[in-house]
A = this chain, B = another copy of it.
Amino acid sequence: MKATVPITAVGLKAACAQCNLVELCLPFGMSDSELHRLDDLVGARRKIKRQQPLYRAGDPFEAIYAIRTGSFKTDVLLEDGREQVTGFQMTGEILGLDGISTELHSCNAVALEDSEVCVIAYDRLEELSREVEGLQHQFHKVMSREIVRDHGVMMLLGSMRAEERLAAFLLNMSQRFTARGFSAAEFHLRMTREEIGSYLGLKLETVSRAFSRFQDEGLVTVQQKHIRILDNAGLKKLIQHQQRAC
């Protein structure tokens, strides 16, 4: 019953110009002529099965990845078994930027569902972004956005209470689903309570209880991983502080 195909099957070449994720992804804002030069850059696609790693901490860094379908989590594991989820990534988002600094990946990227990524060889990205101004600029923005996002998470972990954290998490998910053309009010979480908890610096029981309380208060409907937001404003009110990107 063992699968004989390698987990990392190599697929067709990507074509950014034809991809409907352009607006969410690395090529955003680039001109048509610039866009076509990316076809040299974006190599093969790679399929990753649910629960399988795209890369692991310590792996040599060679490429960054744009998510074509599916979703991922990134995490850091500690010697004593503790796990810190550092992010959840959806289609169009870029994985692997952590590897540039030491030329080794510093965290694990694991598929939350069967997924597919576009492989972007890093040396070629540097090469091309020396020639294509729009690519260079957009790449820098992507990295900067990751920094800003991380600051937001630090804010969440450092200064907010359990219910505020979960509310912020739900609103963030809702917003990202919206950007991808899905419903803002109703969606399916791909991660477990434990993974949400790890991301939010909470135990899974605390996440579960917070969900239940939100449901009792009529803010959301929760059925396992299926979430329906009933009172968006109510959730926003929970996080008093203006919800900036940072």
Residues of chain A touching chain B, judged by Cβ–Cβ distance below 8 Å, are 57, 74, 76, 78-80, 82-86, 97-102, 106-107, 126, 129-131, 133, 136-137, 140-148, 150-151, 153-155, 157-159, 198-201, 240-242, 244-246
Given contacts A240-B79, A241-B79, contact A158 B157 (CB under 8 A): yes
Q: Is the CB of A98 within 8 A of B151?
A: yes
Q: A98-B151, A143-B143, A154-B154 are in contact. List 15 more A-B contacts (CB 8 A).
A: A78-B159, A84-B158, A84-B159, A98-B246, A100-B141, A100-B143, A101-B141, A101-B142, A101-B148, A106-B151, A106-B245, A107-B246, A126-B137, A157-B158, A159-B198
Report chain B residues within 8 Å CB of A82.
159, 241
Q: Is the beta-carbon distance between B106 and A244 smaller than 8 angstroms? A: yes
Cβ–Cβ < 8 Å partners of A242 in chain B? 78-79
How many angstroms between the C-alpha atoms of A145 and B147 in the bound complex? 10
Residue from the set A82, A85, A101 with the largest chain B CB neighbour count within 10 Å:
A101
Closest chain B residue to A102, Cβ basis: B245
A101 B145 Cβ-Cβ under 8 A: yes
A80 touches B241 (CB 8 A): yes
- Report the minimum CB–CB distance from A221 to chain B (whole Å): 27
From B97, B136, B153, B159, contact of A144 by CB (8 A): B97
Asked if B140 and A100 make an inter-chain contact with CB atoms under 8 angstroms apart, the answer reads: yes
Instruction: Please measure, in the bound complex, the distance between the C-alpha atom of A133 and the C-alpha atom of B145, giving whole angstroms.
Output: 23
Q: B97 to A147, Cβ gap below 8 A?
A: yes
Q: How far is the CB of A123 from chain B (nearest CB, A)?
A: 10
Least Cβ distance of A60 to chain B in Å?
14
Taken together as a complex, chains A and B put the C-alpha atoms of A154 and B152 apart, in Å, by 10
Complex Cα spacing A238 to B146, Å: 30
Residues of B contacting A201 with CB < 8 Å?
157-159
